[in-house]
Amino acid sequence: MERARFQYLARRAEPPKPLLSNVVRAFVAGGLISAVGQVVLGFFVGRGMSPEKAVSPTAVVMVFLGSLFTALGLYDRLAKWAGMGAALPITGFANSMVAPAMEFRTEGLVAGVGARIFQVAGPVLLYGLGSSFVVGMLVWIGLLLRYR
Amino acid sequence: MSRRAGGQTLALRPAAVVRGWSSVAGPMEGAGPLGERFDEVTPDDRLGERSVERAERRYMRRAVDLLLEKTGVEAGDVDVFLAGDLLDQLVTSSFTARELGLPYVGMYGACATSALLLGTGAALVSAGLVRRVIVATASHHLAAERQYRFPVELGVQRAPTAQWTATGGAAFLLEADGDGPRLTHFTLGRVQDMGLKDPGNMGGAMAPAAAHTLTAHFADSGRAPGDYDLILTGDLARVGHPLARKVLEEDGIELGERFEDAGILLYREDQDVHAGGSGTACSALVTAATLLPDLGAGRLRRALMVATGSLHSPTTYQQGESIPVIAHAVALEAAGHGK
């Protein structure tokens, strides 16, 4: 059989990804996780913290929750249902560090946990920090030109 | 005397005898439609081991021990141990061979390993080079995940085309004569590549290999699909299996109802394994749990097992290479058949 003909058949044989339900689930789950974050933020603000200052402890609590549910073996089940809705919040970032740390524990604390903990999160950090640096430089240059 | 029939097939004369077989399945495989038919089902898949690699080795070792128990053969009376698995450097096979102390060859054919081992073992026996060969394979879902894909606790959604690496081990005893189903033909695959690159759709990538080896088998052996009661592919699953059928149909080969797939048979659809099973244990478990017992009991007269393997590595995939695939086939028949 011709390669092009086979590739056409193979594409047609693939069941479609459930795009609409994926989007709806991501919206609902992502919204719920964010709502939890909002409640936590409200708690710190209610204790007299300014909203700006309350952001950091809120992130810490959400990272803790993401790590806890990963360690309990529940976060991957949530993410299987919720997809991007579970991956995008900071709880998903915690999951992306704790999951490899748990997985590679058998290779030891240095070559296993230490070397692999950024396996998934590493690219996010590199390109997240890298692009914020580039944008920051552009803003800085823009401001210099404006106030010259 | 064995001889080469056509381009890719060894016609084994005398045929090798499959004296015994054993299967040890993981809990999910045990909960599947074939659960009752495995020799043993483990209650969990970690087996109390400190790593999943060690657990995978336990499946292979247990399958070999069980085979020796079932056949009453002493390990010291086995001439050669052939084994294969999916882990880097074939550690499962080699570490098991270290324990058994038998003359050993490790063979890699990805998920086509089961047929590669059975065919090679049968050829050694049929040629009169050795009297008794044990072949064994094992795979473990968790060990395959960490080597090929993601940490298990990472929150990811799998594509509907993804497959589930089977957890379990199976072993087979091949002898020159005696009671048991006969292994009569071994069709070696040629590596195929239709340019597919997605390791999340291995069934689709492997379908042309199965079609190619089946076409070669029929041409070489002079047999037709109707000569078999069952033609079992290894792990094409729900995406690849209909695709292989379609490719063969367009080439004028109709396989009909007898064409089945171990990756589809091993799990129920509601077990959430997406397209179906895969892994070296997939075809080996189904062969040891249903195909060989059915031949032994006369429920099948003749069967063709076509194990399919995807020969990529995570590195070649990341470097953008397409996926080379292979399929090996072994023809088996009931003891009294064809005499």
- Is A115 in the B-facing interface, judged by CB distances under 8 Å? no
Nearest to A76 among B152, B161, B204 (CB): B152
Nearest to A76 among B53, B155, B239 (CB): B155
Q: Mean pLDDT score of chain B, rounded to an integer?
A: 95
What pLDDT score does B326 carry? Answer: 98
What pLDDT score does B35 carry? Answer: 95
- Is A3 in the B-facing interface, judged by CB distances under 8 Å? yes
What pLDDT score does B46 carry? Answer: 95
Nearest by Cα to B287 from B113, B66, B165, B83: B113
Nearest CA of chain B to the CA of A65: how many Å?
Answer: 14
How remote is the C-alpha of A64 from its chain's centroid? 14
User: Collapsing DSSP states into helix, strand and coil, what is residue B39?
Assistant: coil
For residues A38 and A63, state if they share a domain: yes
What pLDDT score does B2 carry? Answer: 63
For residues A133 and A72, state if they share a domain: no
Buried b (16+ CB within 10 A) or exposed e, B231-261: bbbbbbbbbbbbbbbbbbeeeebebeebbbb
Token pair listed for A145: 């030109």
- The number of distinct structural domains making up chain A is 2
- Is B315 in the A-facing interface, judged by CB distances under 8 Å? no
State which residues of chain A have pLDDT below 70.
none
pLDDT, mean of residues B123-145: 96
For residues A75 and A33, state if they share a domain: yes
Partners of residue B155 in chain A, C-beta under 8 Å:
70, 75-76, 78-80, 82, 86-87, 92, 95-96, 99
What pLDDT score does B337 carry? Answer: 65
Nearest by Cα to B40 from B13, B4, B66, B7: B66
Q: Is the pLDDT of residue B1 over 60?
A: no
* Rounded Cα gap, residues B325 and B301, in angstroms: 29
Q: Binning pLDDT at 50, 70 and 90, where does residue B156 land?
A: confident
User: Residue A7 and residue B246: Cβ atoms within 8 Å?
Assistant: no
Domains belonging to chain B, first-starting first, are: 3-175 (3.40.47.40), 186-333 (3.40.47.40)
The chain B residue lying nearest A80, using CA atoms, is: B157
What pLDDT score does B268 carry? Answer: 95
For residues A74 and A147, state if they share a domain: no
For residues A93 and A136, state if they share a domain: no
For residues A72 and A107, state if they share a domain: yes
For residues A36 and A97, state if they share a domain: yes
For residues A53 and A31, state if they share a domain: yes
Nearest to A95 among B155, B161, B204 (CB): B155
For residues A128 and A88, state if they share a domain: no
pLDDT, mean of residues B110-137: 97
Nearest CA of chain B to the CA of A80: how many Å?
Answer: 5
**Does the residue A5 lie in any domain?**
no
**What number of other Cβ atoms are within 10 A of residue B270's Cβ?**
6
For residues A59 and A98, state if they share a domain: yes
What pLDDT score does B77 carry? Answer: 95
What pLDDT score does B339 carry? Answer: 44
pTM for the whole structure: 0.93
Model confidence over B181-238: pLDDT tens digits?
999 999 999 999 999 999 999 999 999 999 999 999 999 999 999 999 999 999 999 9
Q: What is the ipTM of this complex?
A: 0.87
Domain that holds residue A139: 122-148
Contact present, B260 and B233 (Cβ < 8 Å): yes
Q: Binning pLDDT at 50, 70 and 90, where does residue B8 land?
A: very high
Model confidence over B37-73: pLDDT tens digits?
999 999 999 999 999 999 999 999 999 999 999 999 9
For residues A52 and A81, state if they share a domain: yes
For residues A69 and A142, state if they share a domain: no
